[in-house]
Amino acid sequence: MEGITYLIDEDNKKKFVQIDLEKYGDLVEDLLDILTAKARKNDSTRPFDEVVKEMKKDDLIDEWL
């Protein structure tokens, strides 16, 4: 694929990928978002309303939110 280069290890297995950012830069951010979401899929969660309430209490966000 043009703009994509695979780097291989000594066993001739694909190890890394180089991506032409001029050609695919807009897609790299999406790829990183997907990888971050996958890495965090088992993280604990809290209800949104609880977080907003705490942030309002600590004056981190405006009351109108």
Helix, coil or strand: residue 23: helix
* pLDDT value, residue 22: 94
Q: How far apart are CA 30 and CA 59, in angstroms?
A: 32
Give pLDDT, residue 65.
61
The pLDDT score that the predictor gives to residue 19 is 94
CA 6 to chain CA mean position, Å? 21
pLDDT 10s digits, 8-62: 999 999 999 999 999 998 999 999 999 999 999 999 999 999 999 999 999 998 8
Query: In terms of residues, how long is the chain?
Result: 65
Q: Which sign, positive or negative, has the C-alpha torsion 15, 20, 23, 26? A: positive
pLDDT for position 62:
82
- pTM for the predicted model, two decimal places: 0.53
